[in-house]
Amino acid sequence: MRKVNLAGLEEQERQSPKGKFNKFVKDVSIALGRDRESLDLAKRHPFDLAMVRIPKGKSYCPYHSHGAESELYLVISGRGSVRDKNGTTEVTAGDAFFFGPGEAHQLTNAGEEDFAYYVIADNPRGDSCYYPDSGKWAVPWEGSDEAIVKGNVADYYEGEE
């Protein structure tokens, strides 16, 4: 059995250049030995768990959907605003919600204190993200990197024959 205590996990800050997107993340699954690069499911773990904290007035990331990933959220504290195709919904401590593949979403702190939650994701290999507001895609690249691309819809055979 592997065991970690959240109090002892390092919290990593991730912030966009202009500061609109700002989050603090404790990667619980990584601390428990998850190997993101491995093709061995035992080493990858069947799901990923992170504890996230979003400061006042900030969002986790841009509005996006995953091509293959599912995510389950459980709010710990604070007040959040969750955007989806139907608009926005307020969430608070004790609320749980789920997004499957293709369901666009965005989490934002809507309160005065930090907005904190757990997210459990299945993190399938080869997942891509689509950003509806900007028309961009994040696609798998070498190793664990991803490429951000922006293009136009094209016929499947365009440039192929």
For 104-155, write each residue's pLDDT tens digit: 999 999 999 999 999 999 978 788 999 999 989 988 776 667 788 887 777 7
> In total, how many domains does the chain have?
1
Q: Is residue 87 part of a domain?
A: yes
Identify the band that residue 72 occupies on the pLDDT scale cut at 50, 70 and 90. very high
pLDDT per residue as tens digits for the range 19-60: 999 999 999 999 999 987 777 777 888 889 999 999 999 999
pTM score, whole prediction: 0.90
Q: Is residue 112 part of a domain?
A: yes
Q: What is the CATH number of the domain that holds 91?
A: 2.60.120.10
Reduced to 3 states (helix: H, G, I; strand: E, B; else coil), residue 24 is strand
Q: Is residue 157 part of a domain?
A: no
Q: Check residue 160 and give its pLDDT.
A: 63
Q: Is residue 147 part of a domain?
A: no
Domain that holds residue 91: 6-127
pLDDT at 161 over 70: no
